[in-house]
Structure 1
Amino acid sequence: MTKEWIKVFFAAFFEVFWVIGLKHADGPWEWTGTAIAIAISFYALIAAGNKLPVGTVYAVFVGLGTAGTVLSEILFFGEPIKAAKLVLILVLLIGVIGLKLVTDETEGERS
């Protein structure tokens, strides 16, 4: 795994925080944390997109962020666990992993 893919995973990790922040933030400290998470997330996403194919980077970012957000809601905020939801997250992650595996990492550098 290259340094650029680590940036994508880092961006997706912080995406989970800002998405949860958009839903649950009540006070100025939570909103400040949400804004910081947005800035970190998009900075890492843009940095990775400079070297990797943007379409694949964005798909992986959104897929991992979505899976992380749904799992966080289940684990930390009492969202009901539904088998269908877990199966669909698994399918989403399989698609994300598949996109990463078939992406030529030099493709983004040519543009």
Structure 2
Amino acid sequence: MKMSNPWLKVVAAVVLEPMWVLGMKHADSWFMYAITAFALVVSFLMVLKASSQLPVGTVYAIFVGLGTVATIVANWMFYGESLNVAQLVLIAVLIFGVIGLKLMEDE
């Protein structure tokens, strides 16, 4: 399956980001290290491919911003990390910033 829409590549990279970020902390077997490495490599390849078709600053900001949100939420869901109101407000600000970047992009 060929992924021609560059925004789908960004989404794929964002989905994979929590896997490798949390994998660096929680991997404890060769299999988990392999999954972590796979997610890292594919995630960055998707960012590189998307950046060839979209503004690199926008792609990177969305990748890092939404990847951070996804990592925080995954850490809360799977590892019981705390999530307070202040963190939720800051996550919302981050998401609105990412949306703003997308809306300001020149097509």
Code of the aligned partner of 2:42: I
Deviation at 1:76, TM superposition (A): 1.0
What's the TM-score, normalizing by structure 2? Answer: 0.93
Matched, 1:73 2:82: no
Number of residue pairs aligned between Structure 1 and Structure 2:
104
Q: Deviations over 1:56-82 (max 9, x none)?
A: 100000001000000111111100121
Q: Could you tell me which of 58, 61, 64 is aligned with 1:59?
A: 61
Q: Which residue of 2 aligns with 1:50?
A: 52
Cα distance in 2 for residues equivalent to 1:8 and 1:61: 7
Any runs of at least 4 consecutive aligned residues in structure 1 with deviations exceeding 3 A, and if so which?
A: none
Code of the aligned partner of 1:66: T
Q: Which residue of 2 aligns with 1:37?
A: 39
Q: Which residue of 1 aligns with 2:9?
A: 7
Cα-Cα RMSD: 1.1
Q: Which residue of 1 aligns with 2:94?
A: 92
Deviation at 1:104, TM superposition (A): 1.6
Task: Please give the secondary structure, in 2, of the residue aligned with 1:69.
Answer: helix
Code of the aligned partner of 1:26: D
Cα distance in 1 for residues equivalent to 2:13 and 2:83: 26
Task: Please give the secondary structure, in 2, of the residue aligned with 1:51.
Answer: coil
Q: Which residue of 2 aligns with 1:108?
A: none
